[in-house]
Amino acid sequence: EAGVAQSPRYKIIEKRQSVAFWCNPISGHATLYWYQQILGQGPKLLIQFQNNGVVDDSQLPKDRFSAERLKGVDSTLKIQPAKLEDSAVYLCASSSSAGSDTQYFGPGTRLTVL
Amino acid sequence: GENVEQHPSTLSVQEGDSAVIKCTYSDSASNYFPWYKQELGKRPQLIIDIRSNVGEKKDQRIAVTLNKTAKHFSLHITETQPEDSAVYFCAASISGNTPLVFGKGTRLSVIA
């Protein structure tokens, strides 16, 4: 099966600019996650969707981060305005709702904020 | 909330030797424990997982053990090969499509 797709793979922006990332999960996967991975650390959850509804966004910095999954398939994550500390890899993962715990990760988007 | 501690942060072994990575977790409700391997610049790849009703699971050279009483689980890699060199992450979650809480990772280097 095709894996989780993400774009762009790399992005460099100035602080205070805005940026958006896109994720296409594995076909049929109802659950989608966005994780932030800072260099040298494990991934940390930002937001979880079940179909087009938000399940958990307790760790999303809502003053600057937003995410949507309007049709229950693709998702976008936006940062506006970006700060230096937002430099990280943003990973999208998906899992099937049919009782499987396995999360499959995309290749990530490496964001550098200057 | 859940907190996962992982040790060691770096590990060097000679090719053919075994490697062991240990993790502890804090939330007794957690019952799903996957291990991911991440090569430089690549996506995390699931290599093995274990659920709370199982104490040990093996897949060729890789095994994971779980002690729910002590709230710790370990990854064992036997007969290590240079291609095993990567960063390994443990994680924990309550099963049923809930977010993973990751450890900080272990950088494994296998020296030929």
pLDDT at A72 over 90: no
- Higher pLDDT: B88 or A96? It is B88
State the Cα–Cα distance between residues B89 and A3, nearest whole angstrom: 20
Least confident of A5-19, A38-52, A97-111, B53-67: A97-111
Q: What is the mean pLDDT of residues A67-86?
A: 95
Given this model, what pLDDT does residue B96 score?
62
Three-state secondary structure along chain B? Answer: CCCEEEECCEEEEECCCCEEEEEEECCCCCCEEEEEEECCCCCCEEEEEEECCCCEEEECCEEEEEECCCCEEEEEECCCCHHHCEEEEEEEECCCCCCCEECCCEEEEEEC
* Residue A99 pLDDT level (bands cut at 50, 70, 90): low
Q: What is the mean pLDDT of residues A70-74?
A: 89
Give which of A56, A43, A57 is closest to A93, Cα–Cα: A43
Binary contact (B93, A43; C-beta < 8 A):
no
Render each residue's pLDDT in chain B as its tens digit; 112 residues.
899 999 999 999 999 999 999 999 999 999 999 999 999 989 999 999 998 878 999 999 999 999 999 999 999 999 999 999 999 999 999 876 789 999 999 999 999 9
Coil/strand/helix, residue A86? helix
- Higher pLDDT: B50 or A2? It is B50
Return the C-alpha torsion angle A12, A18, A19, A20, nearest 10: 180
A9, A51, A101, A104: best mutation site toward chain B, by most B Cβ within 10 Å? A101
Mean pLDDT computed over every residue of chain A: 94
- Higher pLDDT: B77 or A40? It is B77
Give which of B84, B75, B1, B85 is closest to B34, Cα–Cα: B75
State the Cα–Cα distance between residues B71 and B95, nearest whole angstrom: 16
Interface of B with A in 58-97 (CB under 8 A): 89, 91, 93, 95-97
